Amino acid sequence: MRYKTFGKIDFEVSSLGFGAMNLPGVPFEQAKDALNYALDQGINYIDTAAAYRNSEEIIGDSISHRRDEFFLATKTGQRSYAGAKEEIERSLVRMKTDHIDLLQLHYVNYVHEFKQIVGEDGAYIAALEAQQAGKVRHIGITGHRPELLAKWVRKYKFDQVLFHLNLAQPFALDELIPTMAELNMGRVSMKPLSGGFIQPVEKAIRYPYSQDVHVIISGMVSVAEVKENIAAMEQEVGGAERLELENLAIELGEHNCRRCNYCECPIGINIPEIMISSKIREKLGLLPKGDGFYQKQKEKLFSCADYEPCKVTPLCEQKCPYHLPMQQVVQESVSYFS
Ligand code: SF4
Ligand code: SF4
């Protein structure tokens, strides 16, 4: 694991960040042990969100007594001034702290949402106010549209962006990461396993570790997972390995899906997950979690070919900002079951 100055933020941040999103799904003692073990091992970046069920409370109950050992990042999904103001206060109480190191405007994927956030009655004003009051130290933004994020960070002052970067979603490398590097912003990547599809874990982690990011957020729920993630960062990535990983990312990212979730399927097919996993499935096969997802979707995937309203023009494709051939990819996915 390495430590780097976090862009313009005066903090030496660990390359592995603890993603606390899934902690509410495990027994409290297990979550507490994982968090404390992570701090013991030198992980000093904890990432959560107001929207992650009681994740903020688990952090408050487990490690608030060690508050000076970590950089605490949370998120507000509220778009309005009043909503964000209230949510920031709630996060402080839940995490048992008097300050949030980084407040991120959560999951901003549409231009109209961003306009609302930075408008005169928007969440950004509430974040600035909390910053002036010392309750929030820095302001960041998260989203699934890297090219939009790259534009927004040029127009408004953000200290950090949280974005996807993994072997199946290398798209932040095109414009977003170079823009952020130029602006000397904190660069944090998420979903190294792309939602549980990429294997092995070591390779999945080492890809973003080979790129120009400060922190890789990995969702962890146990001491064993913390150990596994730390082990993947024991050694720096050399030139040959980096090239191999980059070539693999070109192959696995060929589907071009950013997981923006603009598309909807009337029969409930999870199109982004099918798109993202399509090349992984063909090249590497699926992990048990990925297989479970496909088994659950099986009936729906077969139904796509017969769904009458999509015969002439697929409903999903009309929504995709990248004009991707989702119907074809979904229909090809049934070959997994043969
Ligand atoms: S084409 Fe298939 S995946 Fe797309 S909306 Fe229609 S049924 Fe759903
Ligand atoms: S298929 Fe298109 S609309 Fe759907 S998540 Fe991917 S990029 Fe977005």
List, for residues 23-44, the tens digit of each pLDDT value. Answer: 999 999 999 999 999 999 999 9
**Rounded distance between C-alpha atoms, residue 262 and residue 171, angstroms:** 17
Q: Which atom of ligand 1 is nearest to the CA of 331?
A: 2
**Rounded distance between C-alpha atoms, residue 78 and residue 265, angstroms:** 26
- Whether 287 shows a pLDDT value over 90: the answer reads no
- Whether 253 shows a pLDDT value over 90: the answer reads yes
Q: Is the CB of 50 under 6 A from ligand 1?
A: no
Please give the pLDDT value at position 152. 98
**Rounded distance between C-alpha atoms, residue 6 and residue 198, angstroms:** 27
List, for residues 86-103, the tens digit of each pLDDT value. Answer: 999 999 999 999 999 999
pLDDT band at 199 (very low <50, low <70, confident <90, very high): confident
List, for residues 116-135, the tens digit of each pLDDT value. Answer: 999 999 999 999 999 999 99
**Residues 149, 146, 114, CA angle at the centre, nearest 5°?**
35
List, for residues 221-233, the tens digit of each pLDDT value. Answer: 999 999 999 999 9
Which of 110, 164, 259, 330 most suits a substitution to test ligand 2, by most atoms within 8 Å of the C-beta? 259
Q: Is the CB of 304 under 6 A from ligand 1?
A: yes
Q: For 191, how many CA atoms within 13 A lie in the half-sphere containing its CB?
A: 21
**Rounded distance between C-alpha atoms, residue 62 and residue 51, angstroms:** 19
Q: Is the CB of 271 under 6 A from ligand 1?
A: yes
List, for residues 145-171, the tens digit of each pLDDT value. Answer: 999 999 999 999 999 999 999 999 999
**Rounded distance between C-alpha atoms, residue 273 and residue 99, angstroms:** 36
Please give the pLDDT value at position 266. 97
Q: Which atom of ligand 2 is nearest to the CA of 259?
A: 5
For residue 294, how far is its CA from the centre of ligand 1 (angstroms)? 16
Please give the pLDDT value at position 272. 97
Please give the pLDDT value at position 135. 98
Please give the pLDDT value at position 66. 98
**Rounded distance between C-alpha atoms, residue 42 and residue 45, angstroms:** 9
Which of 310, 319, 334 most suits a substitution to test ligand 1, by most atoms within 8 Å of the C-beta? 310
pLDDT band at 249 (very low <50, low <70, confident <90, very high): very high
pLDDT band at 257 (very low <50, low <70, confident <90, very high): very high
Q: Provide the 3-class DSSP secondary structure of residue 74.
A: strand
Q: Is the CB of 272 under 6 A from ligand 2?
A: yes
Tell me the DSSP string of 249-308.
Answer: HHHHTTT----------TT---HHHHHHHHHHHHHT---HHHHHHHHHHHHHHHHGGG-G
Q: Which atom of ligand 1 is nearest to the CA of 317?
A: 4
- Pick from 19, 28, 17: which is nearest to 195 by CA? 19
Q: Provide the 3-class DSSP secondary structure of residue 112.
A: helix
Q: Is the CB of 262 under 6 A from ligand 2?
A: yes
Task: Please state the length of the chain.
Answer: 338
- Pick from 134, 110, 184, 195: which is nearest to 154 by CA? 184
All domains in the chain, ordered by first residue: 3-245 (3.20.20.100), 271-337 (no CATH)
